[in-house]
Chains A and B, each alone.
Chain A
Amino acid sequence: MTALPDVVKAEQSLGSRIAGVLGGTLVRIFLIVIGLFWLLPSFGLLMSSLRDREDINSSGWWTVFTAPSQLTFSNYDALLSNDALMDSLVTTLLITVPSTLLVVVIGSLAAYAFAWMDFPGRDWCFLAVVALLVVPVQVALIPISSLFDNLGIYQSLFSVILFHTAFGLPFAVFLLRNFFAEIPRELLEAARLDGASEVRLFTRVVMPLGGPAIAALGIFQFLWVWNDFLVAFIFADPGSPPTTVAIQQQARQFDNNIDVIASGAFISLIIPLVVFFAFQRQFVSGVMAGAVK
């Protein structure tokens, strides 16, 4: 009566252990296969970018395994002398950096006001901002292009930056307001008692304490703007577009100059990847905060 269940139990655990080991191996193999499968497309792009265009047009990138002599940096050399693409990298920076900074600064200001200042209609205003979180950018394309046209800034750097900043704000305000609200009241009061002005309070206490959230927001906005195609496609100056649009222009222009496109695309994704690996934690926390446009 007492022994029997024990035996059964032992058998069960043995059986499940074997199953567990087998299953574990299977799971590992499955995951490795999936992982490789996931890497395959990007790897294909990398390999394609390292072959010259005659090779790309005559065979697949996997032939590099049998004929590694195909590999060459000539596309990247050509890229360096391709003014259109090199200029576009600068343009991308000129759009991305200001848009990120503006969102962080303007967003923090508003978020601080929502979190710690008292004014009539505060809650309603904040609700409105939250409502704007889900507005698709597409809705704004036509009205804003004609608005900007009337202002004479359509298809300029400025118009892209303004658009990105505006559409980054709802999320920025939402994220930062929640973060700032968590700052211990005593800290702010103490500073206030020391005679700090509202501005000083903001720059010396709130901003430093908000570091992690601001970092997450900054990374997120940076990647979003860097990777944007549609907004730049419509609002950027077609004469000096950012990288995503420049690559697209190359594609439509020559149709099959995949050598330029592949190497250009690869360069364009290096920066986001570096940012991603360097600030992985912040990026993930940005994503976790629901930041997905």
Chain B
Amino acid sequence: MTSAVKPSGKPAKSVMGTRRWVAMLFLLPAAVLLLAIVAYPIIYSIIRSFFDQSGDSFVAFDNFQALFTDEDNLTAIKNNVIWVIVAPSVCTALGLIFAVLTERVSFGAAFKMVIFMPMAISMLAAGVIFSLVYQQDPERGVANAVVTGIHDTFSESSAWPGARPRPNDDVLAGPQKGPYTTKDTVSAGSPALLPLVAVKPQDLETAKPATEPKAASGGGISGTVWVDFKPGGGGKLGAIDSGEKALKGIKVEAVKDGKTVASATTGDDGTFTLPKEADGAKLALPASNFGEKYNGVDWLGPSLITPAIIASYVWMWAGFAMVLIAAGLASIPRELLEAARVDGANELQVFRRVTVPLLAPVLVVVLVTLMINVLKIFDLVWVISPGANLKDANVLAVQLYLLGFGTDTDQGMASAIAVVLLLLVIPVMIVNIRRLRRETRR
């Protein structure tokens, strides 16, 4: 298929006396294949789309109506619209930028090759490539590795993610993820033991053993925050057993009547000391101590999956746009640009006022070609979507496949989708034919 139809030369008269049957012979193989495999299905699909699932009874436009009411079909249509609008325009915009920028750079050719190369790769391989990129675990997927990397440089992570008191603990209580507050008020003279659990063993490898708090001087409050879980089990609940580790760097606040009156941070051995203002207050361990690690973006989750797959398409096809546009650029007469520059226009103005208008026909061709291509997108969606989210990423071609060849087949509906796809390319078909006839009449 094409939209860049550029017929050249008039059809010539036969080279003297070709017999008709020879011409027929030359045409026969192509004619048979085209009629049987390309043309016949069009008619078949149109007829089949008016029949029900079994193919026995005529249902008129019921399939088409269902196409626009059924939830799965609607998702497919919605996504297809997003695809057709977003993917070609992004590809064309990037292609334009790349083509213009590479014009005057020494390594332009190499750059173009890098961008164009993905076009030689199968959509399937590209799908495999991008399902690796989008893996959720930041330790495995490069996209999330970058995102979490950036996130973590700008916001500090908490000291002990996930640490919490035992359920029904005697000392501490609080909502999930903190803050955890002591049930009773503390008083000077009796040190506070604040036991937590659920700390990853590997996070504790460098932690010091917890020590009993020393009595604080001057009426202050002392205490220890530690992991009340002895590796391998055993140990007394609420008591610091040997082998139990200290939690350093935990912020402890003394709260009286909802107001924080003093705060301290635990040392290497888990102990802390609060001034005497804390006497009679409840101790709170704010939630900021326990925030979970940022885990990156859910690229292939229901909301981002279509944009994520579109990005992989752009990766493949921006090069196509770039090459065509670069060829268009090369054919713009230098003198026109120079003339504009001499008239005092700056580069941006030259670009906007001269280059883009002159490129317009090429840009249209690129856009239309990509749109037709995107209309039929199948492989990328099929390969990248995790099974559970296929419905969220659904497009017409995938829906056609599922209805035509999946488990709950409905060839009537599938044919209706085929007809819709066909209707959508008919304008381009007409433009191609018109252009060709204009050329031949000339």
Chain A residues near B (Cβ < 8 Å): 16, 24, 27-28, 30-31, 34-35, 38-42, 44-45, 48, 56-62, 106-107, 109-110, 112-119, 122-123, 125-127, 129-145, 147, 162-163, 165-167, 169-171, 173-174, 178, 181-182, 185, 188-189, 192, 198, 201-202, 223, 226-230, 234, 244, 247-248, 251, 258, 261-262, 265-266, 268-269, 272-273, 275-276, 280, 283-284, 287-293
Please give the distance in Å from B100's CB to the nearest CB on chain A: 10
Contact B418–A170 (Cβ < 8 Å):
no
- Chain B residue with minimal CB distance to A245? B124
Contact A251–B383 (Cβ < 8 Å):
yes
Name the A residues within 8 Å of B372 (CB-CB): 134
Taking a contact as CB atoms closer than 8 A, the residue among B8, B120, B365 that contacts A273 in the complex is B120
* Supplied contacts A116-B14, A134-B1, 17 more A-B pairs, CB within 8 Å: A24-B104, A24-B105, A35-B115, A60-B141, A61-B142, A106-B29, A109-B27, A123-B11, A135-B42, A136-B376, A140-B37, A162-B33, A162-B37, A170-B1, A181-B11, A188-B15, A272-B121
Contact B432–A28 (Cβ < 8 Å):
no
Q: Please report the C-alpha to C-alpha distance between residue A272 and residue B122 in the assembled complex, in whole angstroms.
A: 8
Contact B38–A167 (Cβ < 8 Å):
yes
Q: Please report the C-alpha to C-alpha distance between residue A248 and residue B138 in the assembled complex, in whole angstroms.
A: 25
Taking a contact as CB atoms closer than 8 A, the residue among A16, A113, A188, A293 that contacts B27 in the complex is A113
Segment among B159-167, B275-283, B350-358, B400-408 that sits at the interface with chain A: B400-408
Contact B9–A181 (Cβ < 8 Å):
yes
Name the A residues within 8 Å of B428 (CB-CB): 134
Please give the distance in Å from A255's CB to the nearest CB on chain B: 9
Contact A227–B26 (Cβ < 8 Å):
no
Top 7 nearest A-B pairs (CB, nearest first) are A290-B4, A290-B2, A227-B122, A166-B37, A118-B14, A181-B9, A110-B30
- 14 interchain pairs, CB-CB under 8 A: A27-B105, A41-B129, A56-B140, A112-B26, A132-B34, A132-B39, A133-B2, A142-B418, A247-B128, A248-B383, A269-B121, A272-B120, A288-B327, A289-B6
Name the A residues within 8 Å of B429 (CB-CB): 131, 133-134
Please give the distance in Å from B78's CB to the nearest CB on chain A: 18
Q: Please report the C-alpha to C-alpha distance between residue A141 and residue B419 in the assembled complex, in whole angstroms.
A: 12
**B125 CB-CB contact with A under 8 Å:** yes
Please give the distance in Å from B66's CB to the nearest CB on chain A: 17
Q: Please report the C-alpha to C-alpha distance between residue A133 and residue B7 in the assembled complex, in whole angstroms.
A: 14
**B23 CB-CB contact with A under 8 Å:** yes
Residue among A113, A142, A145, A269 with max Cβ neighbours from chain B (10 Å): A142
Name the B residues within 8 Å of A112 (CB-CB): 26
Residue among A126, A226, A230, A247 with max Cβ neighbours from chain B (10 Å): A230
**B157 CB-CB contact with A under 8 Å:** no
**B375 CB-CB contact with A under 8 Å:** yes
- Chain A residue with minimal CB distance to B341? A16
- How many pairs of residues, A versus B, come closer than 8 Å at their CB atoms? 325
Q: Please report the C-alpha to C-alpha distance between residue A171 and residue B1 in the assembled complex, in whole angstroms.
A: 6
Q: Please report the C-alpha to C-alpha distance between residue A20 and residue B360 in the assembled complex, in whole angstroms.
A: 26
Taking a contact as CB atoms closer than 8 A, the residue among A44, A129, A137, A145 that contacts B34 in the complex is A129
Contact with A along B364-397 (1 / 0, CB 8 A): 0100010011011011001100000000000011
Please give the distance in Å from B428's CB to the nearest CB on chain A: 5
Contact B114–A166 (Cβ < 8 Å):
no
Residue among A106, A122, A248, A293 with max Cβ neighbours from chain B (10 Å): A106
Q: Please report the C-alpha to C-alpha distance between residue A130 and residue B33 in the assembled complex, in whole angstroms.
A: 15
Q: Please report the C-alpha to C-alpha distance between residue A223 and residue B255 in the assembled complex, in whole angstroms.
A: 71
Contact A113–B23 (Cβ < 8 Å):
yes
Name the A residues within 8 Å of B105 (CB-CB): 24, 27-28, 31
Name the B residues within 8 Å of A223 (CB-CB): 120
Q: Please report the C-alpha to C-alpha distance between residue A37 and residue B7 in the assembled complex, in whole angstroms.
A: 38
Taking a contact as CB atoms closer than 8 A, the residue among B98, B117, B120, B365 that contacts A34 in the complex is B98
Please give the distance in Å from A55's CB to the nearest CB on chain B: 10
Contact B436–A201 (Cβ < 8 Å):
no
Taking a contact as CB atoms closer than 8 A, the residue among A109, A189, A258, A283 that contacts B30 in the complex is A109
Name the B residues within 8 Å of A289 (CB-CB): 2, 4, 6
Please give the distance in Å from A99's CB to the nearest CB on chain B: 11
Contact B12–A115 (Cβ < 8 Å):
yes
Contact B128–A276 (Cβ < 8 Å):
no
Known: A117-B14, A130-B436. A107 touches B30 (CB 8 A): yes
Q: Please report the C-alpha to C-alpha distance between residue A39 and residue B104 in the assembled complex, in whole angstroms.
A: 22
Contact A142–B98 (Cβ < 8 Å):
no
Please give the distance in Å from A113's CB to the nearest CB on chain B: 4
Name the B residues within 8 Å of A189 (CB-CB): 15-16
Please give the distance in Å from A91's CB to the nearest CB on chain B: 15
Taking a contact as CB atoms closer than 8 A, the residue among B26, B117, B118 that contacts A110 in the complex is B26
